[in-house]
Amino acid sequence: MAKDIRVAAIGECMVELQERPDGGITQSFGGDTFNTAAYMARLGEGLGGFVDYVSAIGDDPFSDAMAAFWRAQGVGDRLVLRRPGRRPGLYFIKTDAAGERRFYYWRGEAAVRETFETEGSDAILTALSGYSNIYLSGISLAVLRPQSRARLIARLGELARDGIAVDFDCNYRPLLWESVETTRATYEEVIAFASRVLVTVEELEVLGIAPTPEAGASHFAAMPRLEVVIKDGAKPCTLIHDGKIETVPAMAVDKVVDTTAAGDSFSAAYLLGRSLGLAPAEAALRAHAVAGAVVQHRGAIIPKDATPDVFASEIARLR
């Protein structure tokens, strides 16, 4: 079954600007679901090109460079729409002395907003049936115009009923949503057919749940078909699956440099580990190891040689 892993990651990649300690600026590309797709492709490199990105970008030089960057990271762009006259969004990262970051966004002209309502979108929605897993986040939904959002959710529901795994990361950015009520209703609609849900302790509150691992575990334990990971930063994560509740400790890190993409890389490793047949607790242990390496480097995508090869033995057995 592992040989048939094919992942479509839906969302927005942006131009990333990051302030260096010397006051200069480094330019790259990033975005939550793209970060996850890139780490998944890297961690599963021995599986071949099994990860494709689903998005829309413009026809400008930044969009060209972005698509080239995706391909260099092992992420396919065959399901990416090109919108004439549009551009990708942009964000700026400022990081404090503890490695925590603040984001500032510019995305008014972003092509991604109309991904599922413009020319070519029908073909993309149809092509999703060729994947074993569809991955998306709360940001994937938030950046879409309401019509695109509705079309995507309807299609995901169809795919889930056909046996395709829909993996949903609740990644919540309040400034992108009209209201918390709209967010909650949208999340609940997706969770109703999702296979796996990843959520932080803080994001539980968006779902009307007290922001504690215990409250989250109690809530999701009533949904036995659903597998849930409650992430809690450097603290243990909580797993709810098959009627069980487990906690898995995070990796200790002496020096946190930048927490950008820590959660995204965790999601990549956890979901790939599960697709490779690992038990939830083992997948979480390896996901913690990857996230622990990521926070020791600046930027969303760390150097390849700094990324732990946590699935080498599982992938070698598939060859």
What is the tens place of the pLDDT at every residue in 163-172? 999 999 999 9
* 93 in Cβ contact with 101 (< 8 Å): yes
Measured CA to CA, the distance from residue 70 to residue 12 in angstroms comes to: 12
Task: Say how far apart CA 189 and CA 19 lie, in whole Å.
Answer: 38
| Model pTM above 0.85 | yes
pLDDT of the residue at 22: 84
Catalytic residue among 96, 264, 305, 309: 264
Closest residue by Cα to residue 136 from 71, 191, 65, 180: 191
167 catalytically annotated: no
- In this prediction, residue 20 carries a pLDDT of 80
pLDDT along the chain (319 residues), means of 10: 82 89 87 97 96 96 95 96 91 76 79 91 97 98 96 98 98 94 98 98 98 97 95 95 95 87 96 98 97 91 94 90
What does each C-alpha distance from 162 to 10, 21, 138, 168, 267 come to in angstroms? 19, 50, 23, 17, 24
Identify the three-state secondary structure at position 177: coil
| Rounded CA separation 42/305 (Å) | 10
For residue 75, which of 268, 305, 297 has the smallest C-alpha distance? 268
In DSSP terms, 15 is beta-bridged to 29, 90
Residue among 197, 274, 201 at smallest CA distance from 228? 197
Over residues 45-86, the pLDDT tens digits come to 999 999 999 999 999 999 999 999 999 999 999 999 999 989
- Our CA angle for 63, 94, 198, nearest 5°, is 75
At the fourth CATH level, the homologous superfamily of domain 2-12+35-55+76-81+112-316 is Ribokinase (3.40.1190.20)
Can you tell me the distance from the alpha carbon of 136 to that of 271, in angstroms, rounded to the nearest whole number?
Answer: 12
Cα 168 versus chain centre, distance: 8
Q: How many Å apart are CA 9 and CA 84, to the nearest integer?
A: 23
Q: Is 318 left (phi over 0), alpha (psi -120 to 50) or beta?
A: alpha
